[in-house]
Structure 1
Amino acid sequence: MKRDPDFYDYLPYDARPRIEWPNGARVAFWVAPNVEFYELNPPRNPSRAAWSRPAPDVQNYSYRDYGNRVGFWRMLDVMKRCGMRGSVSLNVAMCEHHPEVIAACAENGWEFYSHGTYNTRYLMGMDEAQERAVIQDSIDTIKKHTGQRLDGWLAPALTYTDRTMDLVAEMGLTYVCDLFHDDQPGPVKTAKGKLASIPYSLEMNDTIVYNVNQVSPRRYGDIIKRQFDRLYREGERSGTVMCIPLHPYLIGQPYRLAAFEEALQYITSHDKVWLATGREIAEHFNTHYYDAFAKAAHAVGEAP
């Protein structure tokens, strides 16, 4: 039985090569809005039901549809006022269902990376050919509708197979967000290619905060600021990464916006913060630090 997923080696936080971000920044800060489409009655997956209620689950479908109709536009306004670009975790079917949303992101210089086709279609149970087809569709659809190269991957509904990391690296992507093990980027072990894990925090994720931990908006804003303060202090020694993953149907509710905007203004007002995209962080790490981190790390259970 495997002791760990074997996607990455071990490298303790206080014994790593020093990361230096552009312009002396301590923190590479990125915001990752999950721009998603949930099907009302998707194909059945034997491992996981798409909805908690019997089909058609109009209640949960319409709750999430609120994000594309209303919540996204509020979130966009807040981020524009704070001078923050997004890195869109995109269900690529959105390009056809709601092209207005895609156009607004592109017009504001946002990055697009893949979150699968629909958030109601899961990778688990797929064979290699099916999984390759999903990744290739993301590459082709994002290129067609935005002109951008696809660099990043976050599996739909955080579902993946044992081969996902190998496939996305082989097919030319440069980073993944599916590993939640660190506050700095790190090498991902793949058969081919150079793939980095870029921190994407479940602790900062508004789904976990609001739907699981059930905290108040004001408390969420305080959590964001406390997370940043710690990473900013530690980033003086070696550059850290902070990510806020968002869902427009949650963060875009009217009573939640003010606390989020206050926290975002707080972070962006600091001078040693790199307001980056996922692609930019991955490119900097892969170019300057990937090899040094890979060399310094060792397998779990082995002496350094």
Structure 2
Amino acid sequence: MKESLGVYDYWAYDQRPKIEWPGGAKVAFWVAPNIEYYELDPPLNPQRNPWPHPHPSVPGYSIRDYGNRVGHQRQMTLLDKYGIRGSVSLSVALCEHHPEIIQMCKERDWEFFSHGIYNTRYTYGLSEAQERAMIRDSMETIYRHTGQACAGYLAPALSHSERTLDLFAEVGEELFGDKGGIYTCDLFHDDQPTPVSVRSGKRFISMPYSLEMNDTIVYAVNKVEPRQYATMLKRHFDRLYAEGAESGTVMCIPTHNYQVSCPHRIKAFEEALEYITGHPDVWVATGREIADYYLANYYDAALDSMAAQATTAGKQG
């Protein structure tokens, strides 16, 4: 039985080189709208049923369709108001099904990263060749429709294999050199970017992407009221802002346009955005911008720090 994922080492939070974000910001803040496409009657996967009741799942499908028809525009208007460019966790089939949404995001210079092809087709059970082909398809589709070299990855419906990070880094390198395949959102283990080991040796990092602040986890799993979600987001920010005075932290709000954008919930999200962006020393950025800055300025120092801690731990052991 494995005792760890084997892609990163323990690295104490209070023993790291200081991070200084652009302009002296304490917090690098990004919003990751998950813009997804769910199939009404997807292929069966023996390891996971995409819908909780028999197909066709009209309620589940239609509320997600509501997100793309109504919720996306509502959320985009709000992000425009606060000068936030989204980093889209994209079900890339959306490029074919709803190119108008892709165009609206392109016009605003939003980032696009891969969230697989459909959010009803999983990594579970795929061979290495099949998973590589899926990742390549998603990255090539993003480039074909947006001109962007895909930098980040969030596995479809958080389905994951032991090879996922290796394959994403490798395919990104093959397609786009050091511009593609540089960060993952699938590790929820830190409040700062951290180096991740992949088998190719590529410079690769984990980006903070909080499941606890993810609106689907908040509303659908934990059954939190909207006003409490606003409070959670503010408290989350307050702690990261305070700690960011010592070394820069990262806050991500992952959203879904069929969750946060419902009429009774959108005000809570707006209150949190107004609060966060109303503070000085906040760098409002995209996931790619944060990853690029970290790789250019702190990645090597982070590796040195990790190696030094490992050596110290070995001597003590």
Among candidates 168, 180, 184, match of residue 188 of structure 2: 180
Aligned positions of 1:1-304 closer than 5 A: 1-172=1-172, 173-192=181-200, 193-297=202-306, 303=314
Q: Give the % identical residues.
A: 60
Over 3 Å counting, the alpha-carbon distance change for 1:222 and 1:130 in structure 2 is same
CA distance in structure 2 between the partners assigned to 1:254 and 1:70 by the alignment = 10
Using the TM superposition, give the Cα deviation of residue 254 of structure 1 relative to its aligned residue in structure 2, in angstroms: 0.5
| SS of residue matched to 2:33 | strand
Aligned-residue offset at 1:63: 1.4
Alpha-carbon deviation of 1:127? 0.7
CA distance in 2, matches of 1:39, 1:124: 17
For 1:303 and 1:265, how far apart are their aligned partners in 2? Answer: 47
Q: C-alpha displacement at 1:303, in angstroms? A: 3.3
How far does the alpha carbon of each residue in 1:207-242 deviate from its partner, in whole angstroms, 9 at most, with x for none? 111011111111111111111111001001000000
C-alpha separation between the residues in 1 aligned to 2:31 and 2:208? Answer: 11
Gap runs ≥5 in structure 1 = none
Shift of 1:302: 5.2
Counterpart-to-counterpart distance in 1, 2:271 and 2:314:
46
SS of alignment partner, residue 33 of structure 1:
strand
Give me the whole-angstrom Cα distance separating, in 2, the residues matched to 1:266 and 1:147: 34
| Deviation digits for residues 28-86 of structure 1 (CA, Å, limit 9, x no counterpart) | 00000000000011111111011101111111111111100111111111111111110
For 2:102, the aligned partner's letter is I
CA distance in 2, matches of 1:179, 1:35: 20
Deviation at 1:295, TM superposition (A): 2.4
What TM-score do you get using the length of structure 2 for normalisation? 0.93
Secondary structure of 2:258 counterpart: helix
Unmatched segments (≥5 aa) in structure 2 = 173-180
Match of 2:177 in 1: none
AA aligned to 2:27 is V
Distance 1:186 1:244 in 2: 18
Give the distance between the partners of 2:50 and 2:129, measured in 1 at CA.
23
**TM-score normalised by the chain length of structure 1:** 0.97
- Once the two structures are superposed, residues 143-171 of structure 1 have per-residue CA deviations (whole angstroms, 9 ceiling, x without a partner) of 11111110000000001111111111112
Q: After TM superposition, which residue ranges in structure 1, 4 or more long, deviate above 6 angstroms?
A: none
CA distance in 2, matches of 1:56, 1:295: 53
Cα shift readout 1:249-278 (whole Å, capped 9, x = no counterpart): 001100111111111011111120010100
Q: Secondary structure at the match of 1:88?
A: strand
Whole-Å separation in 2 of the counterparts to 1:79 and 1:303: 48
